[in-house]
């Protein structure tokens, strides 16, 4: 963990993957890998545990797992993660907004149509009496 007022170092998914692949290929330990890539932050053991975490994620989820943002603590009840929600692509967001508006208009139209049909049925039932 970075000291107060310092920004935490962030590594790209490509860098993490190259470190893990090199470590596995050359059969290096965590501390040897830390020294080779000069990843020492506060202590060698904390950097080694970070590499161990990267390796666990790689083994469980593959290379795609290293690309996920893992900030925040998971909710204990539902298991969902907190943190920043992933940003949608601008085009996807516009499409979703347009679809939402279209569905609202369709719902209003169906409500009005239902009200008109109901009113007409009531008028027809009054005439038959």
Domain residue ranges of the chain, discontinuous segments joined by +: 13-67, 87-129
Residue 48: band (very low, low, confident or very high) from pLDDT cuts 50, 70, 90: confident
The pLDDT assigned to 6 comes to 62
pLDDT per residue over 11-28, tens digit each?
A: 888 999 999 999 999 998
Hey, what long-range contacts does 76-84 have (CB within 8 A, 24 or more apart)? none
The pLDDT assigned to 70 comes to 72
pLDDT per residue over 73-93, tens digit each?
A: 666 666 666 666 667 788 999
Count H helices and E strands in the chain, helices first.
5, 0
**Nearby residues of 47 by Cβ (< 8 Å), 6 or more positions away:** 34, 39, 40, 41
- The answer to pTM > 0.75 is no
Q: Does 1 score more than 60 pLDDT?
A: no
DSSP codes, 26-55? TT--HHHHHHHHT--SS-HHHHHHHHHHHH
């Amino acid at each position: 963990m970075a000291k107060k007022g310092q920004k935490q170092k962030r590594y790209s998914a490509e860098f993490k993957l190259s470190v893990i692949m090199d470590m596995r290929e050359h059969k290096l330990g965590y501390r040897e890998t830390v020294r080779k890539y000069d990843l020492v932050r506060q202590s060698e053991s904390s950097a080694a545990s970070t590499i161990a975490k990267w390796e666990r994620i790689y083994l469980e989820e593959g290379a795609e797992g290293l690309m996920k943002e893992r900030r925040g603590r998971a909710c204990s009840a539902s298991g969902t993660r907190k943190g920043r929600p992933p940003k949608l692509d601008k085009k996807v967001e516009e499409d979703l907004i347009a679809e939402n508006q279209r569905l609202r208009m369709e719902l209003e139209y169906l409500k009005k149509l239902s009200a008109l049909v109901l009113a007409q049925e009531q008028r027809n039932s009054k005439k038959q009496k």
